[in-house]
Structure 1
Amino acid sequence: MDLPTLPTQPDMDNTAVTLDNQEEYSDIERESGTQTIDPNAIILAEALTDKAISWQIHNCKIIKKTVTQDLPLPFLYHYDSLDDAIKQTHPLTPELLLQFNTPMSAHEAAKLIGIDEELLTSPWHVKIIGSLVVFSEALQLAVRLHWTNTGKETQQVYTKDAADAIIAAFKDWQFFGRVDVLYKNNKQILISIDELNPNTQALPAESLLTIEASGDYQQLLATHALAAIVKLEADKADLPWFDKAILERIE
């Protein structure tokens, strides 16, 4: 008579090894100061550059605007704007070379060279700073970003009028500065990452920032703001809603 088949006993040795491995991995993770990313979490920089998300732009505005021809420039800039024919009749002298980096107006530069001021081409000095809010109703996420045409004090643009100077200056506008986040979804984790190992998906604990759901804007730490901006700048050409909103505002 055949004996009934007995239920298989679990391999306690293997189970113990598995548990030991899990505990050992957790210990290593804690000791190394690393964390793994929740696969269901929203990663801020990735979401902001995801073309599949229906992003909308709100409250795009200018905060500070400088468009003028009256600011001083180093003498070198004034001299370089001259026609070659004028440079030949008014060559650089040791006295002029000493003034190369001296800031001055077009009037002062013309007097120094010994020519009529109208022969100099004065550039437009353009510096416009603005902000906008990009938001997704589906994610209940809004992010306030800042933009400008240059990181310098001003950008010098040689055009006939101010309107053309502004358009030319914003061919290469950029995001910069602080980033503020408004997140109202308490059903899904929102995180920011400023350093990630692409091979292991593990990252230093200090590189992971959990952004809590709140009814108020929260300013990102500088390193996380920079990480978001770097990602936005890298993908900006594929995110035309930013360009459209900013160019409409400055015109």
Structure 2
Amino acid sequence: MNMTDRFILQEVLTDDVPFRVHNVKIDKFICEQDLPLMLLAHYDRLSDELKAQKPLTDFFGQMNDQVTTAQACAIFGVSPDSLRPATHIKITGTSVIVWDDFPLALHLQFTNTAKDSQTTDERDIAQAVADEIGNILLSGNVNVLHKNTAKELVSVDLSDDEFVITPSDNYTRLPNSHALATTQILNHIRHTTPQAMAYLNHALRDKIMEHAQERF
């Protein structure tokens, strides 16, 4: 086997390789107003003037309670208009990117937050979703489809440990450390040289906004 027959997955991703998006699927899409939040999160959104009048120490025993905006205002003893209900957004999904000439396919997961949802004060739903797309990160499992028996494909994690991706007609799930190394590289490229991954960034944005428009 020639050296040119051996490929390191993470290096392939940083090269000028013509990947394309095969599909983008949305698994979870939450965009709702005034879901319960910890009381501490509501307190953080109070004005400085109200915080001075309502010391945090008065509510220590309830800080982890999950309450709505109206319930929080009642607990704080402030008028109902002292807090504006937040918009909660959670987006998760998957995308498959393909290098046809290899051939090679990566099944990737993405999300806008590791939390239950991300909150924003933006009232316009479409704008809130559009703003949140900028926080989308690839994370979680990475599955690789590699069928070419003439080429050796190896994944190298952040500790330089190698994992050989055996040619198969089925996807191979990368070990967690190798999935992390892969998504870290892809996220770095997306945010430092977005033009290099415009094909994926545009596909994610288009699919998410299409989904939002269907919902609202």
Q: Confirm or deny a common fold (TM above 0.5).
A: yes
Match of 2:29 among 65, 68, 72: 65
Q: Distance in 2 between matches of 1:155 and 1:128?
A: 9
- SS state at 1:230 partner: helix
When the two chains are superposed, the root-mean-square deviation of aligned CA atoms in Å is 2.2
Q: Distance in 2 between matches of 1:192 and 1:220?
A: 8
Q: Distance in 2 between matches of 1:68 and 1:223?
A: 34
Moved more, 112-121 or 94-103: 94-103
Report the equivalent of 2:179.
225
Q: Give me the TM-score of the superposition, normalised by structure 2.
A: 0.84
Match of 1:241 among 168, 184, 199: 199
Q: Matches of residues 92-107 of structure 1 in structure 2 within 5 Å?
A: 92=55, 94-107=57-70
CA shift at 1:39, angstroms?
5.5
Q: Distance in 1 between matches of 2:198 and 2:111?
A: 16
Q: Distance in 2 between matches of 1:179 and 1:137?
A: 18
1:75 aligns with 2:39: yes
Q: Distance in 2 between matches of 1:77 and 1:223?
A: 33
1:211 aligns with 2:165: yes
CA gap of 1:218–1:60, structure 2 versus 1, over 3 A, is same
CA gap of 1:185–1:87, structure 2 versus 1, over 3 A, is same
Report how many aligned residue pairs link the two structures.
204
Match of 2:86 among 123, 126, 135: 123
CA gap of 1:174–1:93, structure 2 versus 1, over 3 A, is closer
Q: Matches of residues 179-198 of structure 1 in structure 2 within 5 Å?
A: 179-195=142-158
* Ranges in structure 2 where 5+ consecutive residues have no aligned partner: 210-216
Report the equivalent of 1:156.
119
CA shift at 1:86, angstroms?
5.0
CA shift at 1:112, angstroms?
1.8
8 Å CA contact retained: 1:139, 1:185: yes
- SS state at 1:231 partner: helix
- SS state at 2:188 partner: helix
8 Å CA contact retained: 1:182, 1:215: yes
Report the equivalent of 1:177.
140
Report the equivalent of 1:5.
none
Identity among equivalent pairs (%): 32
CA shift at 1:226, angstroms?
1.3
* Ranges in structure 1 where 5+ consecutive residues have no aligned partner: 1-37, 197-202
- SS state at 1:122 partner: coil
- SS state at 1:108 partner: helix
Structure 2 residue identity aligned to 1:77? A
1:46 aligns with 2:11: yes
- 1:104-144 CA-to-partner distances (Å, cap 9, x unmatched) read 11111111233332331121121111100000111110100
CA gap of 1:69–1:42, structure 2 versus 1, over 3 A, is same
8 Å CA contact retained: 2:73, 2:79: yes
Report the equivalent of 2:212.
none
Q: Which structure is larger by alpha-carbon Rg, 1 or 2?
A: 1
Structure 2 residue identity aligned to 1:223? S
